[in-house]
Amino acid sequence: MGLSNNVLIWVLLVGLFVGLFSGLPVGFVLLGISIIVGVIGFGSPFFSMMMMRVFETMHNYVLVSIVLFIFMGIMLERSGAGEKLFSSMHILFGRVRGGLAFAAIIVSTIMAAATGIMGAPVIIMGLFALPEMLKRGYSKSLSCGTICAGGTLGILIPPSIMLVVYGPMAGIPVGKLFLGAILPGLLLSFLYSVYVLTLCHFKPEMGPPFETRDVSFKEKCYLFFHSLLPTLFLILAVLGSIFFGIAAPTEAAAIGSFASILLAILYGRFNLKMLKDVILETTYVSSMILTIVMGAFVFTGTFMLVGGGDFVANMLFSVSKNPWVILFFMVLCFFVFGMFMEWVGIVPILVPIFSPIISQLGFNPLWAGILFCVAMQTSFLTPPMAPALFYLKGVAPKDVDFANHIVKGVIPFIIIQLISLIILAIFPEIVTFLPSRM
């Protein structure tokens, strides 16, 4: 006698969480538990379904952009663009209370829009901005919190790799997701800046101003054209080509990859060894992500095959008939999951399950998707997972304490992220404005 669908659903879910919390690779956990449940429930015909899902994934043209965007981000990280940006901002804003923290946020925002990944801005700012901030007498907790929070913008502001993975799983065009995430990402950057500047205005000892040398108009022009303009050109090449309909996300990723090579050549960092290292790291990271995506598609197919979609929908609708209450619980799931796993584990599990329910509730899928992505962004700051915190600890000076300085420093920024969620829920036009003009 075969097992009932309800039993298979629980075996699938329990096996998933046991596998994830045991530390096994996410992609292998998704594939492994799907095969076990599929064979138990459906026998050998399950393998035909699994192979169809795998080929469907590998034929998805948009996923090619993952490899290209990762290449672009790593190449830009190695080009030294982040260091040059911070050096320029350091000169321009050093005399302002909290100016260095503000500069770190601005540079992180620009790097986010140029790389699409989280690790690079945190590591770059941790290596170059944090020692300078501490040398100038800045609060350790404020400095650490600013760098961690600024670095997480890379996973929301396009060309975010998370959005590239999210789009196909939710059935939303990646180009629209990119445009929908621009203003929410800038909103977060603005709120971070307001918090830092306001705090340091009333508590100057947290971020004291310091005298910098006078900068002539000629030198300001040089800083703009040498440090800022090339990176802005790369951002415009990627996002502008999508917005104006010149290129799809995959073609835009290719344009960005080529532009990142030109930038590395411009800054004198490009050589064959660097290119080899970037290609190897790109292969490693993209292989990991694409394996997870493939496993996620198989897992989703298995979950729907055993009736998991109806199971989750009935469970949510039993909580409340109010669509906003159900949406709140969905966002809460993304937030809580973020405490224990990264987005590469969260997106494949929750997005395919929640997306059909969003349509039933009558919400705009694009707007709801950005809400989910902002909630997932907190996963980089909320312990015990919190990869941004560990990245910073790895490059921070030895006198920076993990609990007292890094963890304590990110708490206000987590609150700001939650406030931004409320703002986006109240004003959905922040998300939908740019896509409607596409």
**Residue 69: predicted pLDDT:** 84
| Cα four-point dihedral sign 329, 333, 339, 342 | negative
pLDDT band at residue 3 under the 50/70/90 scheme: low
Q: Domain residue spans in the chain?
A: 5-436
**Residue 125: predicted pLDDT:** 82
Which of 15-29, 162-176, 324-338, 353-367 is predicted with the least confidence, judged by mean pLDDT? Answer: 15-29
Q: Determine the 3-state secondary structure of 336 from DSSP.
A: helix
pLDDT band at residue 2 under the 50/70/90 scheme: low
Is 23 a residue whose pLDDT tops 80?
Answer: no
Contacts of 273 (CB under 8 A, 6+ apart): none
CB atoms within 10 A of CB 295: 24
Q: What is the mean pLDDT of the chain?
A: 84
SS3 per residue for 241-258: HHHCCCCCHHHHHHHHHH
pLDDT band at residue 42 under the 50/70/90 scheme: confident
Q: What is the pLDDT of residues 44-100, one digit of tens each?
A: 788 887 887 777 777 777 778 888 888 888 888 788 777 777 777 767 776 788 888
Chain centroid, CA 414 distance in Å: 15
Distance between CA atoms of residues 158 and 177, nearest Å: 8
Q: What is the DSSP string of 110-172?
A: HHHHHH--SHHHHHHHHHHHHHHHHHTT--HHHHHHHHHHHHHGGGTSSS-HHHHHHHHHHT-
Top mean pLDDT of 44-53, 114-123, 190-199, 334-343 is at: 190-199
Q: What is the pLDDT of residues 236-274, one digit of tens each?
A: 888 888 777 788 788 888 888 898 898 889 888 889 999
What are the start-end ranges of the E strands in 280-360? none
**Residue 212: predicted pLDDT:** 65
- Under a CB-based contact definition with an 8 Å cutoff, are residues 79 and 260 in contact? yes
Distance between CA atoms of residues 170 and 166, nearest Å: 6
